[in-house]
């Protein structure tokens, strides 16, 4: 179906090229892009003082960094630098001598996030701080205290419980297909993190509105036998790690006191994802103390199916009435166009999380509008994405800065095939971790051997610097100056080795004089932190696995009813979580965002699909099905008091973000904010009034002996001429009309707006 391509316009094509060429993302005025650790290969020097740690933080981030005592709640929107804020908080406390590194425990939810936090703390000169996942921290404590609390050796930890669940089902004479087996396993995991025993499963699942994959009684039976099998085989699963640690800390006060004497300050990242079991563990770590800092965003709650709930985040001020609450809304990641779409998605949301949404304000310069594309079928959609990616790469965008995000992993295969056919390298997010890849392990062994015995290695005879030494060593492992043709396993191995070569070049540039042994030590630290170097390839990932990551270019594919929201999202709460999932996908993009859907799954199929309801009112040519008039929460700081929660009032807040009075878009440019409209939105200014105001301003400037703009700027006069205020209150609402100017010039300006003649040469009183 032929057509044309227009940014921010609906494109109905079976083979379109969408969007515009990528431009490099500029740094912000404050501290550049806030990016994931995996995005950066720089090696910055640690700040030389505690005060230097605070340099480059915006006012709200600085408030987080310096609020070192008492409960602190950080409500941080996507791209607002939350990891930066909390790592600088810890580093500032350590460098200022207020916090002892060994007394701080920072917890998050993924090994990647914990590794990123450790890497940043190391760069800030705060090594020694424990940054772990909940499971990792609990496992260390369980291993240490097991002999004292239980006696004997700790049971073996099973990596994958699905085989045990299969054995339990077989023992119950219940046949499960592969999908049911996976779903029953998920139900058992949910039961354990919500502290639900098998006997209570049916009632708890019904109360939570869960759709059990089998009859609830059968699921409970399998769950019960699964627990018996674990005991018989002397094994535990990951949920048991938390349950057993909670049990020991509850029953053994001496052990709980020992843990509390070790850790006195706690930081919890992604607090909206805490499960009831993790919250209970956190409470036991804390005891009666309140040195706790939590960070989260209710609008990014996308794991409720695992037992995660934003209630702990939203109720934090109720549980801790003296808490300081800091809201981060300055978005350093995405352009105003991307942020506008993200804000628009949440503006139509409902429910408790939506009531606490944050209105993001982009700090980036404007970029291209999001592009919407409609295709005849899914293969055409994948081919269209591949074509556009080739164009972007041809214009200079690295493949590693491009991602294709989808709702379910089953969608991946179509895009893998399309990229392979187009000769575009790709990597699957969620596949094995970088440092666990066989070729990376072998390369590490080879580099370590060369560092120890390189003097006897003829390969290094002609290597004059660190990068050439690494290239020489890795050439023996399969690295070549040119990549192999095509894709597949051979290309993936080469990409891994090429990432190590690039890392060596960056390391040598940042640390002149570094040796091969220094690089090996750096690789060891990165492996422990799971801080992988950038792999050159387009990322294919599910929306869930993309959380916490970002790219210059993001393709959101399959954004159609039945997939987004997913078919089995029946309740209002489930649909709203799907909306939040799309919001997470949108906010992964720094600059270019492509949103697409297909009318049917396979070529020749019945075209009965329609774009996602979440795009209604946002994509061109559509109308909103629901709207909310309440604005989102603005950034700012609310300091806690010791009075009752209902008496707590904010002491210092910022204004609600300005919106264009024509199109409703959030305004970030100072000039546009004065006009209260976008620069290119139509003006309804009274030209005659504007000229009379300019003449009057000239007289006032001459009388006071100052430039014209010191009276009022041109934009302020334009705003006055557009608003035509009739009272001091209306005039005071115009940006640029401050109290002093209102008192001095207000009467004159209102008289001119009313069409009255002023006495010539008389200064306004």
What is the pLDDT at residue 421? 87
How do residues 453-510 score in pLDDT, each as one tens digit?
Answer: 766 666 676 777 888 888 888 888 888 887 776 545 666 678 788 888 888 888 888 8
pLDDT confidence band for 288 (50 / 70 / 90): confident
82 marked among binding-site residues: yes
What is the pLDDT at residue 512? 85
Please determine, for residue 669, whether its predicted confidence score (pLDDT) is greater than 60: no
How do residues 144-164 score in pLDDT, each as one tens digit?
Answer: 999 999 888 899 998 778 889
534 marked among binding-site residues: no
What is the pLDDT at residue 733? 81
79 marked among binding-site residues: yes
What is the pLDDT at residue 550? 94
Cβ–Cβ < 8 Å for 347, 627: yes
What is the pLDDT at residue 717? 87
Q: Mean pLDDT throughout 654-669? A: 56
User: Helical H runs in 48-198?
Assistant: 50-53, 59-66, 82-95, 111-123, 134-149, 162-171, 178-193
76 marked among binding-site residues: yes
Q: Give me Rg for the CA atoms of the chain.
A: 29
Please determine, for residue 50, whether its predicted confidence score (pLDDT) is greater than 90: no
Q: Which of 234-248, 316-330, 374-388, 613-627 shows the lowest mean pLDDT across its residues? A: 613-627
Q: From the CB of residue 258, how many other CB atoms can be counted at a distance below 10 Å? A: 15
pLDDT confidence band for 327 (50 / 70 / 90): very high
521 marked among binding-site residues: no
3-state secondary structure of 126: coil
What is the pLDDT at residue 635? 63
Please determine, for residue 761, whether its predicted confidence score (pLDDT) is greater than 80: no
What is the pLDDT at residue 354? 81
What is the pLDDT at residue 30? 35
DSSP letters spanning 103-128: GEEEEESSHHHHHHHHHHHHHTT-TT
77 marked among binding-site residues: yes
Q: Mean pLDDT throughout 755-760? A: 75
Pick from 241, 190, 239, 243: nearest CA to 219 = 190
Which distant-in-sequence residues (6+ apart) come within 8 Å of 729 by Cβ? none
Cβ–Cβ < 8 Å for 518, 511: yes
256 marked among binding-site residues: no
Higher pLDDT, 220 or 653: 220
What is the pLDDT at residue 336? 95
Please determine, for residue 375, whether its predicted confidence score (pLDDT) is greater than 90: yes
736 marked among binding-site residues: no
What is the pLDDT at residue 439? 85
- What CA–CA distance (Å, rounded) separates 103 from 126? 12
Q: Which of 80-84, 177-181, 330-334, 390-394 shows the lowest mean pLDDT across its residues? A: 177-181
Q: Mean pLDDT throughout 46-64? A: 88
Q: Which of 571-575, 609-613, 712-716 shows the lowest mean pLDDT across its residues? A: 712-716
pLDDT confidence band for 653 (50 / 70 / 90): very low
Q: Mean pLDDT throughout 535-556? A: 91
Q: Mean pLDDT throughout 348-374? A: 91
pLDDT confidence band for 531 (50 / 70 / 90): low
């Amino acid at each position: 179906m032929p057509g044309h391509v227009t940014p921010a316009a609906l494109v109905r094509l079976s083979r379109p090229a969408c969007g515009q060429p990528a431009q490099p993302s500029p740094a912000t005025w404050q501290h550049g892009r806030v990016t994931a650790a995996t995005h950066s290969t720089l090696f910055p020097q640690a700040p030389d003082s505690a005060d230097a740690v605070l340099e480059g933080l915006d006012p709200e981030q600085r408030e987080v960094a310096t609020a070192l005592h008492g409960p602190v709640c950080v409500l941080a929107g996507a791209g607002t630098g939350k990891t930066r804020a909390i790592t600088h908080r810890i580093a500032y406390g350590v460098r200022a001598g207020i916090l002892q590194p060994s007394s701080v425990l920072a917890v998050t939810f993924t090994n990647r996030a914990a590794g990123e936090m450790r890497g940043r703390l190391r760069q800030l000169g705060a090594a020694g701080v424990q940054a772990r996942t909940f499971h990792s921290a609990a496992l260390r404590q369980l291993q240490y205290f097991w002999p004292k609390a239980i006696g004997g050796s700790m049971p073996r930890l099973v990596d994958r419980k699905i085989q045990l669940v299969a054995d339990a089902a077989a023992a119950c004479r219940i046949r499960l297909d592969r999908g049911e087996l996976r779903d029953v396993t998920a139900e058992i995991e949910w039961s354990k993190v919500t502290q639900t025993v098998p006997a209570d499963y049916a009632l708890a699942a019904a109360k939570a509105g869960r759709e059990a994959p089998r009859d609830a009684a059968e699921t409970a039976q399998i769950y019960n036998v699964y627990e018996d099998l674990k005991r018989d085989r002397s094994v535990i699963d990951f949920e048991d790690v938390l349950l057993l640690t909670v049990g020991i800390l509850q029953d053994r006060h001496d052990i709980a006191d020992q843990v509390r004497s070790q850790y006195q300050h706690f930081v919890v990242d992604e607090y909206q994802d805490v499960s009831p079991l993790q919250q209970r563990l956190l409470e036991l770590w804390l005891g009666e103390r309140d040195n706790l800092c939590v960070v989260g965003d209710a609008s990014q709650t996308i794991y409720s199916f695992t037992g995660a709930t934003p209630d702990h985040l939203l109720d934090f001020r109720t549980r801790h009435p003296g808490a300081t609450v800091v809201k981060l809304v300055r978005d350093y990641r995405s352009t105003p166009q991307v942020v506008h779409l993200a804000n628009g998605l949440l503006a139509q949301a409902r429910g408790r999380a939506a009531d606490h949404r944050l209105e993001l304000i982009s700090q980036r310069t404007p970029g291209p509008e999001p592009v919407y594309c409609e295709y005849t079928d899914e293969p055409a959609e994948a081919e269209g994405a591949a074509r556009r990616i080739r164009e972007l790469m041809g214009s200079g965008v690295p493949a590693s800065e491009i991602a294709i995000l989808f709702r379910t992993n089953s969608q991946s295969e179509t895009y893998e095939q399309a990229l392979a056919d187009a000769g575009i390298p790709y990597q699957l997010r969620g596949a094995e971790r970088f440092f666990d890849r066989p070729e990376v392990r072998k390369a590490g062994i080879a580099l370590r051997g060369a560092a120890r015995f390189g003097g006897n290695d003829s390969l290094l005879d002609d290597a004059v610097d660190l990068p050439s030494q690494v290239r020489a060593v890795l050439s023996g492992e399969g690295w070549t100056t040119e990549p192999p043709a095509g894709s597949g396993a051979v290309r993936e191995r080469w990409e891994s080795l090429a990432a190590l070569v690039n890392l060596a070049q960056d390391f040598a540039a940042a640390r002149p004089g570094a040796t091969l042994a220094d690089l090996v030590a750096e690789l060891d630290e990165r492996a422990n932190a799971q801080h992988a170097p950038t792999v050159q390839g387009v990322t294919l990932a599910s929306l869930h696995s993309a959380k916490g990551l970002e790219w210059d270019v993001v393709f959101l594919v399959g954004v159609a009813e039945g997939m987004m929201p997913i078919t089995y999202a029946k309740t209002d709460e489930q649909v709203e979580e799907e909306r939040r999932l799309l919001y997470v996908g949108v906010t992964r993009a720094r600059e270019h965002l492509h949103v697409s859907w297909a009318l049917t799954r396979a070529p020749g199929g019945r075209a009965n699909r329609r774009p996602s309801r979440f795009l209604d009112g946002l994509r061109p040519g559509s109308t909103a099905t629901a709207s909310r008039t309440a604005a989102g929460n603005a950034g700012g700081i609310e300091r806690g008091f010791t009075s009752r929660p209902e008496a707590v009032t904010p002491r210092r807040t910022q204004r609600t973000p300005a919106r264009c009075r024509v199109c409703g878009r959030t305004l970030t440019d100072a000039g546009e904010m004065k006009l209260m409209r976008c620069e290119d939105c139509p003006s309804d200014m009274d030209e005659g009034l504007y000229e009379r105001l300019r003449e009057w301003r000239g007289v006032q400037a001459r009388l006071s002996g100052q430039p014209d703009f010191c009276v009022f700027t041109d934009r302020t006069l334009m705003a006055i001429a557009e608003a035509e205020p009739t009272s001091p209150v209306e005039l005071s609402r115009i940006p640029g009309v401050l109290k002093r100017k209102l008192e001095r010039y207000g009467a004159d300006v209102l008289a001119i707006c009313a069409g009255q003649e002023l006495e010539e040469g008389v200064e306004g009183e």
